[in-house]
Amino acid sequence: MVVVGQPNASVMTPFASDSALVDYLKDLSDRERKRAEEERERRRQDCTSPSDSVAVLSGRLTDAETGEPLIGGNVFLPAVERGAATDINGDYSIIGIPAGVYDVHYSYAGYEPQTLSKVELCNRHPSPVDVALVSGGVGEVVVAYERPFGVTGQSITNNQVDGVDEGGIVKLMGDHLVILRRGRLFTVDIGGGVLVSVDAADLSPPGLDPQAAWYDELLIVGRTAIVIGYSYARFGTEVILFDVGVDGHLTYRSTYHLRSNDYYSWQGYAGRVVEGRLVFYTPLVLGRRTLTHQNEKVEDQLPALRLWSGDADGAFVPVASATDVFRPARDLIGIDLALHTITSCAVSDGALDCQATVAIGPRSREFYVSRSAVYAWGSGRYSRRGRGRPVLYRLPLDGSPPSAVGVTGSPINPFSFHEASDALLVAVSEWPETRWTWNSERPAQKLSLLRIPHSAFGDGSDEAPPSWYRTLPAPAAINVNRFVGDHLLYGSSYASDYRLLGVRWDDPSTVSTLPMGHTVERVEQMGESAVVVGENGSDLHFTPVRLGGRLRSERSHRLRGMAQSESRSHGFFYRPTGDEHGMLGLPVRHWGAHREWLNEGSASVVYLQNEGLDLRRLGTLDADSEPVDDACIASCVDWYGNARPLFLGDRVFALMGYEIVEGRIETGQIREVERTSFAPAHVQTTR
């Protein structure tokens, strides 16, 4: 394990026993209940003022069992015929209500409706009215959770950290590509200059209903292909293992079910392989029912793993006990909490041997995986009201106890983190709640560079002092950032501000500002330099940026009438061939098509040659325009994309939907030499 710095000798405290954990949660719940009662009494007294003639009703709608937000739920006041729908956080707000006492109806498809009677509303000391609904069946829940729009295991996609392989949709195992697509696993032989579809397998074994399951990420350990997904029917993470033979044939081995809430993020991936071990992050929300129900066993609320056995679930086996749950030495809010869980598994003979480390903290999260630790930034919506400060947890991958430090604000996305030899660097916005899942698309403001020495992580009682935050000049709407080399680069994908800003993280006294002539939609490393991708009107631009004491942009390359086809980091890939020389690839589409990759094949993958930071177009490899009826049975929306540029030695490929296309560079242009379809109902190879 790589050691990047020694944390403080003080670490977070584990619970001594099941009863200690129960007592802690009960105390939090009791204190929160008392605070809520005092708040209601203040509101009753204040609402007698005649000046409080107009009120606001706001709060959050959640699942009573899991604490997960209910998106698109209905809130209605019959007396004034006013209502609202909940947003992606489950939050709602109805403004301009005459002050008074109301009955409020709450409903959500698949859940038992609930009515709160005699809710007193006025505009002084407005408190959130949070409601938890009880599920009335699984079927409708699926709709509610639909998402919005040569070397074994060698990484062939864009990873944030060297030596930390991220989950993805395509991996290399020996002479075979292993591909995850729409509920199935495929293998394609690329050895010996050939391109041949070999095998396909459904991910769900017989007896396990794949409906309401989303199979998102593929990883490789040895000769084992590992798929990580989430089931909304079984409310847990699923881990499926296949053996991949030297001939490319797939053999199903096992399916595991980890008790958890959804891990999905619009920007990041949950799974990693670090030094041959499977490592993945999952949250387990401590909802109101967990905090107050007295008849449930503690082990039923903690992370546990079970093996699918034929037509019945096996028994859950705990991967963490109460003594594996650590708490920071600070007050936490008695609601809106989660168990942030890092599960590390040895993979052998188609089986998992797992252990988990758990930190209790605010439920909203963003996380980052380095070669030595997982960092989880926990915050909650109550931070916006001054109740509870965010906490940054450090969970070492070697199994040693976690540590924590108090922080302010929140990171924009997983690319806001960088682990240096002596400190953790985080690009922090002023927003007090992390923007996990789709919220990372939301713009941030007032960016700061936070530098936390590794020695500062302790029992969680300390706060990062203001002197550790260096305020940076920023666009009005920041939503793209990335550490490249020794620089933090950031900008906005909004058309109002065509600038890239950058600062050396080891000397943040000077900030460089570069006019881009286009938006900043993507920042990627390109050898020792960077490349910025963005739009201006209907054109797509690639601008090389030379790193140094001050940033310097080079001539931009423009693709007319084109736009990115995918926004995830894995859509881009760069192959260096020398100093300031190499080739990059990116899925693109015709400008104006809206997220066509969610349900359709990508239009093409474009390739550019980098010659001394002068970019030149080599051409595109294009997908077959014929639609494919794949009889999809699960994961029928491509949340993680469906296209990738692939560079394997001197060979150049494009994965597009159900096709692998190989190209060859001749006289400065790329041309197609072979393609194969691995679609379940349409398997053929053409030259």
Task: Write down the pLDDT at residue 153.
Answer: 42
pLDDT at site 3? 39
* pLDDT the model gives residue 85: 81
The continuous run of DSSP H or E covering 662 comes out as strand 659-666
CB contact set of 615 (below 8 Å; sequence gap of 6+): 531, 542, 544, 555, 557, 608, 609
Taking a C-beta distance cutoff of 8 angstroms, is the pair 678, 197 a contact? Answer: yes
Residue with tokens 């129960």: 22
Residues in the chain where the model's pLDDT stays below 70: 1-9, 39-53, 88, 123-127, 136-155, 266-267, 287-296, 310-313, 334-335, 380-388, 431-445, 592-602, 681-687
What is the distance between the alpha carbons of residues 451 and 471, in angstroms, rounded to a whole number? Answer: 12
Q: What is the pLDDT of residues 246-297, one digit of tens each?
A: 999 999 999 999 988 887 776 678 889 998 999 988 888 875 445 444 556 7
- Spatial CA neighbour of 602 closest among 563, 632, 561: 563
Give the span between the Cα atoms of 174 and 682, in whole angstroms: 25
630: its two tokens:
């794949």
Instruction: Work out the angle at residue 169's Cα, subtended by the Cα atoms of residues 168 and 170, and round it to the nearest 5 degrees.
Output: 100
Residue of 424, 434, 381 lying closest to 403 (CA atoms): 424
pLDDT value, residue 475: 77
All residues at 6 or more sequence positions from 563 whose CB lies less than 8 Å from its CB, including other chains: 535, 538, 540, 588, 589, 590, 591, 592, 593
Contact (Cβ atoms closer than 8 angstroms) between residue 413 and residue 366: yes
Q: Which residue in 68, 76, 192 sits closest to 129, CA to CA?
A: 76
Per DSSP (E only), the strands in 572-658 are: 573-578, 581-590, 604-611, 614-622, 643-648, 651-656
Q: Which residues of 106-124 are buried (b: 16+ CB within 10 A; e: fewer)?
A: bbbbbbeebeeeeeebbbe
> What would the pLDDT profile of 92-148 be if each residue is shown by its tens digit?
888 778 877 888 989 887 788 898 887 877 765 556 788 988 876 433 333 222 333
Residues with Cβ within 8 Å of 104's Cβ and at least 6 positions away in sequence, in order, are 57, 75, 76, 77, 115, 116, 119, 129
Helix (H) or strand (E) holding 498: none
Distances (CA, A) of 380 to 374, 387, 416, 526, 607: 19, 9, 18, 36, 42
**Contact by Cβ (8 Å): 28, 332:** yes
Give the per-residue SS3 of 273-325.
EECCEEEEEEEEEECHHHHHCCCCCHHHHCCEEEEEECCEECCCEECCCHHHE
- Give the DSSP H or E segment for 211: none
- Please work out, in degrees rounded to the nearest 5, the angle formed at the alpha carbon of residue 48 by the alpha carbons of 79 and 100: 5
Cβ(405)–Cβ(376) under 8 Å?
no
Asked whether the beta carbons of 271 and 164 are under 8 A apart, the reply is no
